[in-house]
Amino acid sequence: MKKIKIAVFISLMLFTVVASIVTAQTGGGRGLLPRILPNCDPTLPPSDPLGCGLTAFVLLIRNIIKYLTYIVIPIAVIMFIWAAYVIITAGGSPAKFDKGKAIMTTAVIGVVIALGAGIIVGLIYQLFTGQRPPNLP
């Protein structure tokens, strides 16, 4: 089981490296992964629409969440496969079955949190500004 955990960890690290290389090669996020930094001019005052104000900060947070979503989904798929493997190989052992079930539940909770993070950021932005949050570019 320890070898499987090591293999999964190495696979995830390789995925992250390859995804970062693909992003760098495709011009800053127009390819596989989204662009992280919003387009704003730091020399302008934050009140200027093109300046790096609250809207640019919210876009930065949303872009980070979108980037992490690209990483969370493959991790969740791997966790589902691992949970299925644990359940299938339980051999009638209730402890192993419960362990697999707990892994699957954790994966579902993680995906729900990851996908709900954008909604939470939008609600906080609307609470502070009274405006709808900006759309992602």
Q: What residue segments make up the domains of the chain, in order of their start?
A: 36-129
Amino acid identity, position 29: G
Residue 28, phi-psi category: left (phi > 0), alpha (psi -120 to 50), beta (remainder)? left
Closest CA to 56 of 35, 71, 72, 70: 35
pLDDT at 18 over 70: no
What is the percent of the chain where pLDDT is above 90? 16
pLDDT the model gives residue 23: 56
pLDDT interval class at 30 (50, 70, 90): low
* CB-based burial label for 125 (10 Å; 0-12, 13-18, 19+): buried
Going from the C-alpha of 88 to that of each of 28, 43, 102, 112, the distances in angstroms are 42, 59, 14, 25
pLDDT at 137 over 50: no
pTM of the model: 0.60
Question: When comparing pLDDT for 14 and 21, which is higher?
Answer: 14
Q: What is the pLDDT of residues 72-116, one digit of tens each?
A: 888 888 889 999 999 999 888 999 999 999 999 999 998 898 888
Question: When comparing pLDDT for 121 and 19, which is higher?
Answer: 121
Query: Three-state DSSP class for 129?
Result: helix
